[in-house]
Amino acid sequence: MQVTITVNGSAETHEVEPRLLLVHFIREKAGLRGTHWGCDTSNCGTCVVWLDGKPVKSCTVFAAMADGHEVRTVEGLEQGGQLDPVQEGFMECHGLQCGFCTPGMLMTARALLDANPDPSEHEIREAISGQLCRCTGYENIVRSVRWAAEKEASGPVTESEKPVEATA
């Protein structure tokens, strides 16, 4: 069957089998490898993308079910060369180590801050409770999301206030 899914604003039309999972559509058909896939059992949350604006586990949705719908992936977070504050937060606060869980965490964090710009630590932990990180023990992930919330609360940032690019 032919499906058309709008991924990060651009229409992706492909011939697929109905059994193709959305995560594989994104990675193999749309060629966007930022969305990771790990457990395959809807437990780890590394495959989280937005479907019509809401975070979902894309290993548990068929691409056919998303036909005609909008998907946003981690590649869609950056706007006009400017990282999203949650991406900056993960850089500033060491929210990632191996980076495997990071795409899913970023998508959930962005959705959380859109709905609740000033989340408590408890609310952040609750929001990411369906997502596993085997590296950081979550402390830095929670801090990263708080960092992003605080940055957004302090209003638009001018060029000179932007964090200095970390050198590898």
Partner 1 sequence: MQVPAPFTYERATSVEHAIELLGQLGPEARVVAGGHSLIPMMKLRLARPDALVDINALGAELGQIRVDGTDLVIGALTRHADLLRSAVAGEHFPIFHDAEKVIADPVVRNFGTVGGSLCQADPAEDLSAVFAAVDAVAVLRGPGGVRQVPVRELHIGPYETVLAPDELLIELRVRIRPGGGSAYEKVERRVGDYAVAAGGAAIWLDGDTVSGAGIGLTAVGAEHFAAPEAEAALVGQPATDESFRAAGRIAADNCNPTADQRGPVDYKRHLAAELTTRALRRAAARARGQEA
User: What residues from 50 to 69 belong to the interface with ligand FES (CB under 6 A)?
Assistant: 57, 59
List the structure tokens of 32: 């966007």
C-alpha distance from residue 130 to each of 47, 95, 106, 126 (Å): 11, 17, 13, 8
Task: Give the SS3 label for residue 2.
Answer: strand
Q: Is residue 43 at the binding interface for ligand FAD, with CB under 6 A as the rule?
A: yes
CB 72 to ligand FAD: min, Å: 21
The answer to whether 6 contacts ligand FAD (rule: CB under 6 A) is no
Q: Which is nearer to partner 1, 61 or 149 (CB)?
A: 61
Mention every residue, 6+ apart, whose C-beta is less than 8 A from residue 21. Answer: 58, 59, 60, 61, 62, 63
Q: How far apart are CA 166 and CA 168, in angstroms?
A: 6
Residue ranges in 121-140 that form contacts with ligand FES under rule CB under 6 A: 133-136
By beta-carbon proximity to ligand FAD, the closer residue of 60 and 97 is 60
- Choice from 48, 109, 133, 145 touching partner 1 (CB under 8 A): 48
CB of 90 to ligand FES, least distance (A): 9
Tokens 């708080």: give the residue: 146
Residues near ligand FES, by CB under 6 A: 37-40, 42-47, 57, 59, 96-102, 133-136
